[in-house]
Amino acid sequence: MRRAEARRRPAWAQLAFVTALAAGILAYLLEARGVSLDPQNLLLLQPTALLTLALWAVIAFGCLTRREDPAAPRETAGEVLRVLAMVAAFGLFVAGLERVGYDVAVWIFTPVGLAIGGERKPLALLLFPAFFTLAVIHGFRLLIPYPFPTSLL
């Protein structure tokens, strides 16, 4: 006997949320293009916005074609707390960018994010943040034509 196929149940709340974000991104892109088409002004914005809108299409398709799985496990309290901890850490990261400098903020946020995500290897927690910070700051300096605050680099 063939097992019945699970019913489709679109994720309307998730679809509405990502659509609102995509609409804001599209409005921002159109506004930026309306002000100036200079490639230097759109160097980071336009590719990021287009990539984000492409990702929105994939997510929206997934939200509309989602199948209901009654046996799927629900999130535990620990998982929800990890998500909230990551959101709080990211908020502190963004708030600290200008105050402590981009280099220090990235260097502090990276191991905190790794630890919240479950990484426990000391070598990874010590080496990866340093190399990642160097790569990010070097990339910013190559792409952004004006100085930004750093403390050590």
Q: For 10-52, how does the pLDDT look when each residue is reduced to its tens digit (9 = 90+)?
A: 889 999 999 999 999 999 999 999 999 988 888 889 999 999 9
Q: Which helix (H) or strand (E) holds 25?
A: helix 12-35
Q: What's the average model confidence in pLDDT over 71-87?
A: 90
Residues 64/4, Cβ–Cβ less than 8 Å: no
107 pLDDT more than 80: yes
Q: What is the pTM of this model?
A: 0.65
pLDDT reported for residue 3: 53
pLDDT reported for residue 1: 43
- The upper half-sphere exposure of residue 132, i.e. CA atoms within 13 Å in the direction of its Cβ, equals 16
Write down the mean pLDDT value for the chain. 90
pLDDT reported for residue 39: 86
* Extents of the domains making up the chain: 12-64, 77-143
Distance CA 101, CA 43 (A): 23
Q: What's the average model confidence in pLDDT over 113-126?
A: 94
Report DSSP letters for 43-102, one per residue. Answer: TTHHHHHHHHHHHHHHHHHHHHSPBP-TTSPPPPHHHHHHHHHHHHHHHHHHHHHHHH-H
Percent of the chain with pLDDT over 70: 96
Q: What's the average model confidence in pLDDT over 113-128?
A: 94
Please state, as a whole number, how many other Cβ atoms lie within 10 Å of the Cβ of residue 80: 11
Residues paired with residue 67 on neighbouring β-strands, in sequence order = 8
